[in-house]
Structure 1
Amino acid sequence: MLAREIMTRPAVAVSPGTPVREATAMLIEHGFAGMPVVNEDEQVVGVFTEADALRADFGAATATVDAVMAKPVEVVSPDTDVAEIARHMLIDRLRCIPVVEEGVLAGVISRRDLLRPLVRHDDAIVAHLHALLDDYSGHRKRWSVDVVGGVVSVGGGFADAAERQTIRALAHTVPGVSQVELH
């Protein structure tokens, strides 16, 4: 698998002159651990991370990303093998790596992007439904959940027909569920 197959694009980036407060707000708003810093030609000149934000002097009204960003920055091409990217991220403890094509930012790869192909869509449905059922039952783990191709099977004891209907309705609120079977 290649970087182009899993990278997030378009990449959200900031410029070196972006105020640290604004860049930090962007990290929080988008749920990123880091993001590329690009110049006016869209060339990657650094990476701004949560750690950079924590090191920044928020009291200084003029604090900019350029003062705290990591530079020089490691970049990869769209044709870089994902296994190589994963090794690089682990060894160097990187949270994100910009993807550059012909010298210009094309996307970004985060740890989450690397994990996404490892998780089947059905696994995400199971996790979401377990969370809903645990909340509903007061975290008593009353039901087992299995999902194959979007078809949900919920097994376990149901107090009555109303509870069966409630569990069926909860399952149908999870994105990707096509059918619900109760056992």
Structure 2
Amino acid sequence: MKAHEIMIREVYKVRETDSVRSVILQFIQHRISGMPIVNEKEEIVGYISDGDIMRYIGKHKDIVIDSIFYVNVIKGDDFNFEDRAKKILDQNVMLLAKKPIKVAWDEEVEDIAATLGKKQFKKLPVEKNGVLVGIISRGDVIRNTFRSLL
């Protein structure tokens, strides 16, 4: 079984020029917890999840300043929780983005399962010719693998 056989083709995504506010609005509207970030050519340039946002709005005691975001936006723990949440809304989505782990359109599902399990990702964007064409979740792999076996 190949990625294109089980992937979800209608993918919620965000542009690399969008704000974190637009991401959160999509999370709320579509009841999702993560999505790919694409450029103007629909190439996958990042991925953002609710976990990425949690990392920045949570309390930061004994943090290591490892990002420009902490230095220029959060500045340690100078803000209370609500202030940190407000401050992040108008930041560019790429500030919080992770480097995308993606799968090819024709990749075998067993390889995708290994990546989802090993890396502990919940979803992976699917690309064909460098362009976003779908997304695969752990649930998609489980449902499609075991449907005919039960």
SS class of match (1:47) = strand
* Letter of the 1:99 counterpart: V
SS class of match (1:37) = strand
The answer on 1:24 being equivalent to 2:19 is no
TM-score, with length taken from structure 2? 0.72
SS class of match (1:42) = coil
How far apart are residue 119 of structure 1 and its match? 5.8
2:95 to 39, 58, 67: 67
Unmatched segments (≥5 aa) in structure 2: 57-83
1:90 to 106, 114, 117: 117
With over 3 angstroms needed to count, the CA separation of the structure-2 counterparts of 1:28 and 1:105, relative to structure 1, is: same
Structure 1 distance, partners of 2:115, 2:128, is 19
Deviates more, 1:58-67 or 1:2-11: 58-67
* Letter of the 1:9 counterpart: R
CA RMSD of aligned residues (A): 2.0
SS class of match (1:59) = helix
Unmatched segments (≥5 aa) in structure 1: 124-183
Structure 1 distance, partners of 2:118, 2:95, is 25
SS class of match (1:29) = helix
Tell me the matched-pair count. Answer: 121
* Letter of the 1:108 counterpart: I
How far apart are residue 118 of structure 1 and its match? 4.6
- Of all paired residues, the percent bearing the same amino acid is 34
With over 3 angstroms needed to count, the CA separation of the structure-2 counterparts of 1:77 and 1:95, relative to structure 1, is: same
TM-score, with length taken from structure 1? 0.60
Partner of 1:99: 126
Structure 1 distance, partners of 2:35, 2:19, is 14
Contact 2:21 2:90 in 1 (8 A): no
SS class of match (1:35) = strand
Task: Give a deviation string over 1:47-105, Cα, whole Å, max 9, x none.
Answer: 1111012134432242121110111x111111101111011111111121111101111
SS class of match (1:58) = helix
How far apart are residue 24 of structure 1 and its match? 1.8
Structure 2 distance, partners of 1:29, 1:90, is 28
Partner of 1:9: 9
Correspondence list, 1:1-183, <5 A: 1-56=1-56, 57-60=84-87, 61-71=89-99, 73-118=100-145, 120=147
Task: Give a deviation string over 1:114-159, Cα, whole Å, max 9, x none.
Answer: 1222565xx9xxxxxxxxxxxxxxxxxxxxxxxxxxxxxxxxxxxx
Task: Give a deviation string over 1:147-178, Cα, whole Å, max 9, x none.
Answer: xxxxxxxxxxxxxxxxxxxxxxxxxxxxxxxx
* Letter of the 1:33 counterpart: S
Partner of 1:163: none
